[in-house]
A and B are shown apart, each in its own frame.
Chain A
Amino acid sequence: DTAVSQTPKYLVTQMGNDKSIKCEQNLGHDTMYWYKQDSKKFLKIMFSYNNKELIINETVPNRFSPKSPDKAHLNLHINSLELGDSAVYFCASWSAAGESGELFFGEGSRLTVL
Chain B
Amino acid sequence: AQSVTQPDIHITVSEGASLELRCNYSYGATPYLFWYVQSPGQGLQLLLKYFSGDTLVQGIKGFEAEFKRSQSSFNLRKPSVHWSDAAEYFCAVGPLHSGGYQKVTFGTGTKLQVIP
Chain A contact residues, CB within 8 Å of chain B: 4, 30-31, 35, 40-45, 48, 50, 55-56, 90, 92, 94, 96, 99-103, 105-108
Contact = CB atoms under 8 A, between A and B. Distances in A.
A45 B34 CA distance: 15
B1 to A, nearest CB: 11
Given A99-B51, A105-B44, A42 B102 contact: no
Contacts of A48: 101, 103
Contact of A55 (B38, B44, B52, B101): B101
A96 B52 contact: no
Nearest to A103: B104
A45 B100 contact: no
A30 B99 CA distance: 10
Nearest to A40: B108
Instruction: State which size class the interface on B falls in.
Output: 20 to 34
A106 B45 CA distance: 10
A90 B51 contact: no
Interface of B: 34, 36, 38, 41-46, 49, 51-52, 88, 90, 96-97, 99-106, 108-109, 111
A50 B108 CA distance: 26
Question: Which A-B residue pairs are the 3 nearest by beta carbons?
Answer: A105-B43, A43-B106, A31-B101
A45 B103 contact: yes
Nearest to B106: A43
Nearest to B101: A31
Contacts of A40: 108
A60 to B, nearest CB: 14
Contacts of B101: 30-31, 48, 50, 55, 94, 96
